[in-house]
Structure 1
């Protein structure tokens, strides 16, 4: 893989449907347009630092298990089990619910059925995509590439519309002033870095680069700079048309921008593009998530029911069903709180940043435990760079707990249930072995 190929892959992974939804929450938690834009630049800096740390781990310890493998190697089986539990019950299923709510919010703008429209569409997405995967229908690589291209086209369309087609009365037709924001930069950064999410997956291509260490660093730096530039430009477009108050009130910010610039036709066009791109991401997340849950069933006998494989459809049926049920429960949580997307971000963020902090610490642990291990890529300015990564992860963990509500408490409670299961694991495994005997 060339550096150019790597850059294209990283940009394609990171730039997702979130940029059409999260800016409203970022605007609601920043004081000014300058602080709003600065948050996106800071997101690029933090993402670059994290990507460089992951590049060392993935090139030194290549394994399909990713974070699970790093945590097992650094801390042993117990923290790795907790991560696998969190991935099944919080991180992966939370991502599915988030993408479903993005689709629901945009489709509800086009075809509203009342107050429950977004929740209904979100639940329908989970049911349909889980069903498609259960019967073994997969979206081909060509379709995935086409939908990714449509997503990038949608981003460029919003940038051009916002910067060059602003109507003279844009300020007058934008939504009225928003209620006073929380002005919590830490929470704003939680939403920003959710939108930058994916660089930790992108680091897995590091072993496939022809140009090695220098190529990996160059690909990471250039791609994160490109993504940051794209995000700053699209948010400038939002500001130009909607202003801070309009952005902070919007449930479908790109849709509101396109309606004001090109009318209802523009709204339908961007709505279709966003829905298709989010569907692509949701389908991929459902596909990969079920397979990591299947691996959990193989590694831990207590969850053996997740390790059932259907040879006819080549799919882990029980893993799909459990994952779909959890995602639907999360959509129900979003309905109860009346803030679907925001609630699910609150639910996933503390758990996500806790384990990302552990992965950052594992870099230090593995340097000490295996000092003679060949490292094709070494993080620059060690130990400063990974220390900054750990500090930012710890700060975002703190922010995701302090500035959030019910969703964060539920997410932490689910993680604690996993910790209780971990304590009971030896007893449960003995009982299961005795029953088989």
Structure 2
């Protein structure tokens, strides 16, 4: 690696005396993290909604395959960004180089306040809901029982990741392996049903929403792409992946292929085991399928499977989520404590602790607000897609701004594939805005939730700028000093 390229990767290193991220993750751990963060509870619910909106098997499978293809296109775009600008900050670093500190800070705030910590809290409730079905906490309301289980798992997994990246990565690998095993069990259940003559020989088509129109297929793609969401989190381990400039492309492509194959197999299992009408009408696809195959025991099995899926996504989200706060701490003097990297453990310990506290506060808020909390987090989807779109556009900006930087990998068919990726993000942004605009929470239009998140971020940004201008200069490690110390 040239010194110029190395300096790009390390430009936003933390405060003086803070260690830099080291290349410690192998391809297996990286793939396990990406697969784990993508495959959550969505695959147990989304196929039913996709079946309703497509109406027949060909369009349904086409939607899932198209989702994999669009994710692959996005992954190829991110492969160029991550191999050229490897940083623990991931998207934060791309946005900072392309648009400056203000945009990148708003992104870091959005991730900290709702995107990462909100996801951790929601997944903790999913875990708590299903564990409480297996081991109920007597004398407590279901919401608080779920909150207790959820808070416990947030604390335990945070401690695992504070122990070090190797502990977190090893946990992730095992959880992902178990999660994949659970999905394959769904496929085996469908095969068992077929072998015993219980499957419908020709699963019937159903009346799709909006008469099977292009609009209904487009809405189906919204749920498909949401279920595929999360592969971009690979950007946050780009500085820690062994031989990342060569292996990141392999990791991204392999992860997308594994996820697409699993989604297609599981959708096939639902289709063969329940039929198209059964899929469209099911409120709990996997539970209905496993109950048909294994009887009452199937309900227990699916509870364990969903709980493990939630655990897998929580752990992966913790690993990547804290790295955004770490990157922001490197750039803002007031947040300098977040920008401390523990050399021996290979992880941003302070950022993980703050993330754990914030997630626990959201768990408490969730227990108090009930389903309103879930809606509040989901209604911030436009914020996520806005920054995702800006990350896609940053590829064009950075190619123009940094024409002489070495790019180990260049996205093929440029600019066609990046334009397709940006178009997908723009469509998802528009779709999520349309959905949120038609919803309400507490008597207010749900669109104000995302606006409020960004407005609070702008206020914090102004305060940080004022504090930074009145404080002593932040002792940032210069790229020249980094090279001299190597």
Same topology, TM > 0.5: yes
Do structure 1's residue 263 and structure 2's residue 299 form an aligned pair?
Answer: no
Question: Does residue 311 of structure 2 align to residue 279 of structure 1?
Answer: yes
Q: Contact 1:105–1:252 at 8 Å: present in 2 too?
A: no
1:193: how far off?
2.1
**What is the TM-score of this pair, normalised by structure 1?**
0.80
Tell me how far 1:192 sits from its aligned partner.
1.8
Instruction: Report the count of equivalent residues.
Output: 422
Preserved CA contact (<8 Å) 1:308 1:318: no
**203-212 vs 191-200, greater mean Cα deviation:** 203-212
Residue 415 (structure 1) aligned to one of 454, 457, 460: 454
Partner of 2:356: 320
- 1:197 shift after superposition: 2.5
Q: 2:413 aligns with which of 381, 403, 409?
A: 381
Match status 1:66 vs 2:105: no
Q: Deviations over 1:363-386 (max 9, x none)?
A: 000000011111000000001110
- For structure 2, the residue ranges without an aligned partner over 5 or more in a row are 1-24, 201-205, 473-486
Q: Deviations over 1:289-311 (max 9, x none)?
A: 34543554564355578679999
Match of 2:150 in 1: 126
Deviation at residue 165 of structure 1 after TM alignment: 1.9
CA RMSD of aligned residues (A): 4.1
Q: CA deviation at 1:223?
A: 4.3
Matched residues in 2 for 1:334 and 1:244: separation? 33
Alignment of 1:296-307 (within 5 A): 296-297=328-329, 299-300=331-332
Aligned counterpart in structure 2 of residue 47 of structure 1, from 71, 76, 100: 71
* 2:42 is aligned with 1:18: yes
Pair 411,244 (structure 1): closer, same or farther in 2 beyond 3 Å: farther
Aligned-partner Cα distance in 2 for 1:74–1:96 = 28
Judging changes above 3 Å, is the alpha-carbon distance between structure 1 residues 301 and 130 closer, same or farther for their aligned structure 2 residues?
farther
Q: Which TM-score applies when normalising by structure 2?
A: 0.73
By how many angstroms is 1:133 displaced? 5.5
Which residue does 1:34 correspond to in 2? 58
1:335 aligned to 358, 363, 371, which one?
371
SS for the counterpart of 2:379 is helix
What does residue 230 of structure 2 align with? 198
Instruction: Give the distance between the partners of 2:38 and 2:378, measured in 1 at CA.
Output: 20
- 8 Å contact from structure 1 (residues 305, 318) kept in 2: no
SS of the residue aligned with 2:300? helix
Equivalent residue number for residue 175 of structure 2: 147
Could you tell me which of 189, 192, 198 is aligned with 1:161? Answer: 189
Partner of 1:174: none
Alignment match of 2:127 (pick from 82, 103, 106)? 103
Q: Matched residues in 2 for 1:355 and 1:301: separation? A: 24
What does the per-residue CA deviation read over 1:260-303, in whole Å, with 9 as the maximum and x for residues that have no partner?
A: 21112232123213312321321342354345435545643555
Indicate the SS of the match to 2:88: coil
Measured against aligned partners, the alpha-carbon deviations of 1:37-88 in whole angstroms (never above 9, x if no partner) come to 2221111011001000000001111111111111111111000010000110
Moved more, 137-146 or 64-73: 137-146
Query: How many Å separate the matches in 1 of 2:112 and 2:244?
Result: 36
C-alpha change, 1:64 and 1:40, in structure 2 (3 Å) is same
Contiguous gaps of at least 5 residues in structure 1: 172-176
**1:211-230 correspondence runs (5 A):** 220-230=252-262
Deviations 1:164-212 (A, max 9, x none): 42465667xxxxx999689744443333223223321336559957797
Structure 2 CA distance for partners of 1:13 and 1:239, relative to 1, 3 Å: same
- What residue is the counterpart of 2:14 in the other structure? none
Note the C-alpha offset of 1:95: 1.9
Could you say what secondary structure the match of 1:400 adopts? Answer: helix
2:113 is aligned, of 73, 83, 89, to 89
Alpha-carbon distance between aligned partners in 1 of 2:311 and 2:33, rounded to the nearest angstrom: 19
Compared CA separation, residues 142 and 428, structure 1 to 2 (3 A) = closer
